[in-house]
Structure formats: structure tokens, C-alpha cells
Amino acid sequence: MDPGKQFELVTTNASEVIPEAELAAKLRLDRPLRVKHGVDPTAPHVHLGWSVPLRKLRQFQDLGHIAVLVVGDFTARIGDPSGQDKTRPMLSKEQVDAFADTVLGQIKTILLPDRLEIRPNSEWLEALGTQGVLELASEYTVARTLERDDFAKRHAEGTPITVREFLYPLLQAYDSVAVNADIELGGTDQHFTFMVARHIQRAYGQEPQVVMTFPLLEGTDGVQKMSQSLGNYIGITEAPHEMFGKLMRVPDELMMKFFRLTTDLPVEEIARIEAQLEAGVLRPEEAKRRLAEEVVRMYHGSDAAGDARTHFDRVFKEHRLPDDIPAVEIPRDCMNDGRVDVPRLLKSLSFASSTSDARRLIEQGAVHIDGDKIDSNDVAVDALAGKVLRVGKLHFARLT
């Protein structure tokens, strides 16, 4: 493809391209570009927020460039301080390795296997050694590091900042040196670290990478960045009906942002949908159904997307039970002396992320048996057996 058209395509939806002239020049080079994106495996799911730069990385692959996926198995143990108001706890190597195995399988559903390099940054950071870290640290100043917004805020408030956190952007910047990155992609919250990488690449005799940042995607709460720790995420491997239902909860004012950042619809089609919404020709609910169907189709196929829409309409519009409620045996470790520990049951069924989350759902009145609200953490087995458990609007199980 002509370099000018490539530039127009890859910069679509970008928040920043720094500097644009360098990107245009790199696209004119007679070779595939090395386009880097880093992920720190600190949680088990790839969600739609993660998919924004990953899908842009796939776009570069489709144009013949090389996707360099840096798996931060070393930096994840340190913890990215971006946007944090306190020091992150360190993760163990075992925790990070387990998360890495899980997320890589999910990421590979987005990226092409060809023109893909997967590089764990322990490959070079573990080998760097004390001398190497000292040499790296000598290339950047404390004053420049404190220009970072989150560090500046914490420093002004007297909130501790560890030297370990100061090292994080330098180590992540060294990743760009190790893989000789031409371009780096990520969220707007990575702006500072990406710019440090340009500086460090120059210090190590490399041409600096072009920085491309993309908008952060809010979660289903419509307020905070999509995050597994906040529970407001939509995972790309979630069951089709769950994904569909969560997308229908996206606030109306964020719908077009989701269309632009999470679907494959052409720019012209998205503009047409937006115009129809503004003119009142298209109802927000129908537009959101289109959004949900498009996203589910991308990750699960057209048949699953149609089934998910039917499931949603049956449960939420017609207020009927789904046709395909799975039969689930109450686990023995959830029972004691003829009674069921409901929070433990919900966690066991993956209807809650933890027992404390399950207790919160019960307190909020989100747990029902055959339509009757459960308001106790402890219920007789006979009150549950043979009945339909519903948690929130998405989770159903027929207990046996």
C-alpha cells in the first residue's frame, strides 16, 4: 500500500503520533517496520481495553510490518506505576508466568502468527545485571522523572515513591533498545514512558521510535478505565451472551467511542450510525445492539453473535428464562450440615470474583432463586436443589 495511505490508516483513532514526520518517513523505508507493544501480565484476561493497541498492531501486520509483542514477565514483577497513587505490591515470578501463559493464548486470537515476534523482557533485563542497571540509570535524571504527572502528584502530597518505581520507566524504555523498535503503541497513560524510550534509544546509538498512543477505554461503569481489578471489564474470551449483555450496559455517551475503538466497521459506517443517532432516526438501544453484535461476531463468529442477541432479547426484553440454562451440581465443599454457603457457591460457579464480591452481590439483592431474592449467606440445600439460580442479569444455573 502507498505510504501515504498507510499513514492515514494506521493513525486513525490515534491520540498522539510523536513525531508525525518521523512516522511518515519510516513508512517510506524499503523494509518492514518493527512495531512494538508491551503487555505486563498482571491479570488473567485480555479485555476490550487491551484490544485497542493490539488491534492496531494487527493492522500494522496486515500492512506487512512486524509486530513485536514484549511480554513484561520481568517488569510485571515491579509493577507499572502509571496512574497509581501508591506503590503497587510486587508479584511473584510464578504469578506472572501463570498470567502470561493465559493472556498469550488470548492475544494470539487477535494477532497473526506470521510477522509476529513474542519476546519476554526477562530475556534481556535479567541479564542486564547491576552494572547494566547503573549504566542505564545514568542516562536519565531524577528531575526529569519527577516531571511525570503521577510521580509529581505523589511527591507534592508527600506520598512515598520507591526507587523501584523510578526504575520501571527506564527498564521499559530499555525494552525498545533490546528489540530495536521503530514504533511503539500503547495507551495515553504510557506517554511518559514512551518518551523516555526515545531518549534511551538515542543514548544507546539507535534511531528513536515513533510514539503512537491511543485513547483509554472506559469500563462498563462509564467512569473508570476498563480494569480487571475494578470488575468493569469485558473480556474477549467471555461467553458470547455475557459479552453481549455487558456491551448493552455501556453508557450511551460512550457508545460511539466503543464503535470506533473496538469494532472493524469502516469509518464511513460509524459516521453514518452517529449521524442517525443525532437525527433521532436510530434509537440508542438499537445502535447498542449493533455494537454488541459486531464485537461478539469478531471474537466468536456470526452464529454466536445472533444467538447472543436472541438470548439477550429473551431475558431482558421478554423477561423469560434462557433456553440453555446449564445444570450444575452444588459442590460438596460449599455444603455443611445440610446448608449451602452461598458466597462460596457463587465463587465456585465463577458468578463472583471472590467470596467478598459474592457477599456484596447478595447485599445488593442481585442473587435470586426461582425469582425470589436471597438475602442470606447461608441457605438450606433443599431450598436450592432443582431450582434456577440467577445472579445479576447475566448468570444462570439450574442447581442439582
* Structural domain boundaries in the chain: 3-214, 240-317, 327-399
Q: Is the peptide bond before 266 cis (omega within 30 degrees of 0)?
A: no
pLDDT tens by residue, 329-375: 888 888 887 788 888 888 888 888 788 888 888 888 888 887 778 88
Mean pLDDT, the chain, whole residue set: 89
**pLDDT above 60 (res 382):** yes
Range with the poorest average pLDDT among 82-86, 128-132, 183-187, 346-350 = 82-86
Give the span between the Cα atoms of 397 and 365, in whole angstroms: 17
Mean local confidence (pLDDT), 241-267: 94
DSSP code of residue 355: H
Predicted local confidence at residue 202, as pLDDT: 96
Residue 49's pLDDT band (boundaries 50, 70, 90)?
very high
Predicted local confidence at residue 247, as pLDDT: 95
Predicted local confidence at residue 10, as pLDDT: 97
Q: In 3-state terms, what secondary structure has residue 390?
A: strand
Please tell me the number of Cα atoms within 13 Å of 324 on its side-chain side.
9
Residue 67's pLDDT band (boundaries 50, 70, 90)?
very high
Predicted local confidence at residue 325, as pLDDT: 79
State how far the alpha carbon of 127 is from the alpha carbons of 130, 136, 165, 239, in Å: 9, 13, 20, 41
Predicted local confidence at residue 323, as pLDDT: 64
**pLDDT above 90 (res 101):** no
pLDDT tens by residue, 150-160: 777 877 778 87
Predicted local confidence at residue 135, as pLDDT: 94
**pTM higher than 0.85 for the full model?**
no
**Domain 3-214: which topology?**
Rossmann fold (3.40.50)
Residue bearing the bigger pLDDT, 397 or 35: 35
Q: Residue 67: count other Cβ atoms within 10 Å of its Cβ.
A: 24
Predicted local confidence at residue 87, as pLDDT: 55
* Euclidean distance between the first and the last CA atom of the chain, given in angstroms as a whole number: 59
Predicted local confidence at residue 27, as pLDDT: 97
Mean local confidence (pLDDT), 39-48: 89
Residues found in the chain: 400
Residue bearing the bigger pLDDT, 143 or 222: 222
Predicted local confidence at residue 206, as pLDDT: 97
**pLDDT above 60 (res 29):** yes
Measured over all CA atoms, what is the biggest interatomic distance in the chain, rounded to whole angstroms?
Answer: 73
Give the span between the Cα atoms of 220 and 262, in whole angstroms: 14
C-beta separation of 120 from 74 below 8 A: yes
- For helices 302-312 and 284-300, the axis angle rounded to 10 degrees is 140
User: Which residues is 367 bridged to in the sheet?
Assistant: 391
Residue 33's pLDDT band (boundaries 50, 70, 90)?
very high
Give the span between the Cα atoms of 363 and 351, in whole angstroms: 15
Strands, E assignment, the chain: 16-18, 34-39, 66-71, 116-120, 183-187, 210-214, 327-328, 335-336, 339-341, 367-369, 372-373, 378-380, 388-391, 395-399
C-beta separation of 165 from 87 below 8 A: yes
pLDDT tens by residue, 168-214: 889 999 999 999 999 999 999 999 999 999 999 999 999 999 999 99
Highest mean pLDDT among 88-97, 187-196, 315-324: 187-196
Predicted local confidence at residue 400, as pLDDT: 67
Q: Is 181 left (phi over 0), alpha (psi -120 to 50) or beta?
A: beta
**pLDDT above 70 (res 82):** no
Mean local confidence (pLDDT), 89-102: 82
**pLDDT above 90 (res 396):** no
Mean local confidence (pLDDT), 12-23: 97
Q: Residue 30: count other Cβ atoms within 10 Å of its Cβ.
A: 4
C-beta separation of 237 from 47 below 8 A: no
Predicted local confidence at residue 368, as pLDDT: 84
**Domain 327-399: which topology?**
3.10.290
Predicted local confidence at residue 398, as pLDDT: 82
Instruction: Match domain 240-317 to its CATH number in 3.40.50.300, 1.10.1040.10, 1.10.240.10, 3.40.50.150.
Output: 1.10.240.10
**pLDDT above 70 (res 294):** yes
Question: Which of these, 67, 60, 68, lies nearest to 1 by C-alpha position?
Answer: 60
**pLDDT above 80 (res 312):** yes
